[in-house]
Structure 1
């Protein structure tokens, strides 16, 4: 705000509003930092979706604005775990607890994901990558 960067200040205010709303929704305690990282990733994903829609509508000025906001949010986010690390954790989970894939594929996937997230923090992984890699590991 001191730098008079209107894009950054507006983006930060928007994200802080999301964090404050999450704090109010959870009255017994403050939102943990891992949940804040998830909120930041969701905010960046919303802006990426908006940028895509603006691009389809031919609004390049709004696309640039959304991309700048994504850049501001990404400055506060830690890097995601690479797919190789996700695969390593999934293989470890499958080695520790073999899953019966014949009975119900969704139930098996749920069990694998539950164990995966017990070992890895949700804020450091892309859930779509984890789900895709877990399905591939189960089918193999």
Structure 2
């Protein structure tokens, strides 16, 4: 089942259950996907492009959540946590730290990187492998750790 089909199914269910907040999040994701398709001039997005849009939406919310927590805006924090939980449902299973570390070490060997100056080369080869399955910040931290 495609992501759009999954979203449509969940949207109908949210309408039936009168879950306004969940319905709002699903509609927002669908709009983002449609906007991206229009921007790229396509009828439908590929699975990878859909994943990119979802990851971007999730990252925006996580960044906002951190800022709202620092500002003490608990009213907005709860709403964002709910949105993040809804978005997580549509993301692929996240890699564990051990799995991610294994992929990082493998990629470092592949590109023969030995110093931090080659971090860009490693990240360029690594990110397509873990796209949507790991947080970019965590990936960067692990790469830095192993290149030092």
Q: TM-score, normalised by structure 1?
A: 0.80
Shift of 1:82: 1.5
CA contact (8 A) 1:109 1:138 kept: yes
Correspondence for 1:125:
134
Match 1:86 to one of 100, 111, 121: 100
Map 1:1-140 to 2 at 5 A: 1-28=15-42, 30-101=44-115, 105=117, 108-118=118-128, 120-139=129-148
Alpha-carbon spacing, 1:20–1:90, altered in 2? closer, same or farther (3 Å) = same
Inter-partner Cα distance in structure 2 for 1:85 and 1:20: 33
Shift of 1:96: 3.0
Aligned length: 134
CA contact (8 A) 1:34 1:121 kept: no
Q: TM-score, normalised by structure 2?
A: 0.76
**Relative contact order (alpha carbons < 8 A, sep ≥ 6): 1 or 2 greater?**
1
Inter-partner Cα distance in structure 2 for 1:116 and 1:58: 36
Higher helix proportion: 2
Alpha-carbon spacing, 1:91–1:20, altered in 2? closer, same or farther (3 Å) = same
Q: CA RMSD in A?
A: 2.2
Q: After the TM superposition, which segments of 4 or more aligned residues of structure 1 sit over 6 Å from their partners?
A: none
CA contact (8 A) 1:109 1:135 kept: yes
